[in-house]
Amino acid sequence: MTLFDVMDILDAKLLVGRKLLNTKVDTAFSADLLSDVLAYARPGSVLLTGLTNPQVVRTASVLDIAAIVIVRGKIPPAETLRLAEELEIPIMATHYILFESSGRLYRHGIVGCIQKVGADEIVAL
Cα distance between residue 9 and residue 101, in whole Å: 9
Is 125 an interacting residue with respect to another protein (CB under 8 A)?
A: yes
For residue 101, give the nearest of 74, 121, 120 by alpha carbon: 74
10 Å Cβ neighbour count for 120?
6
Cα 8 to chain centroid, rounded = 15
Q: Check: CB of residue 64 under 8 Å from CB of residue 42.
A: no
The pairing of beta strand 91-93 with beta strand 13-16: antiparallel
Please say which residue, 33 or 75, places its beta carbon nearer to another protein.
Answer: 33
State the minimum distance, in angstroms, from the CB of residue 38 to another protein. Answer: 5
Least Å distance between CB 9 and another protein? 25
Q: State in angstroms the smallest separation of the CB of 56 from another protein.
A: 7
Tell whether residue 112 is a contact of another protein (CB under 8 A).
Answer: no
Which of 64, 74, 75, 106 touches another protein by CB under 8 A? 64
Query: What minimum distance in Å lies between the beta carbon of 60 and another protein?
Result: 10
66 binds another protein (CB under 8 A): no
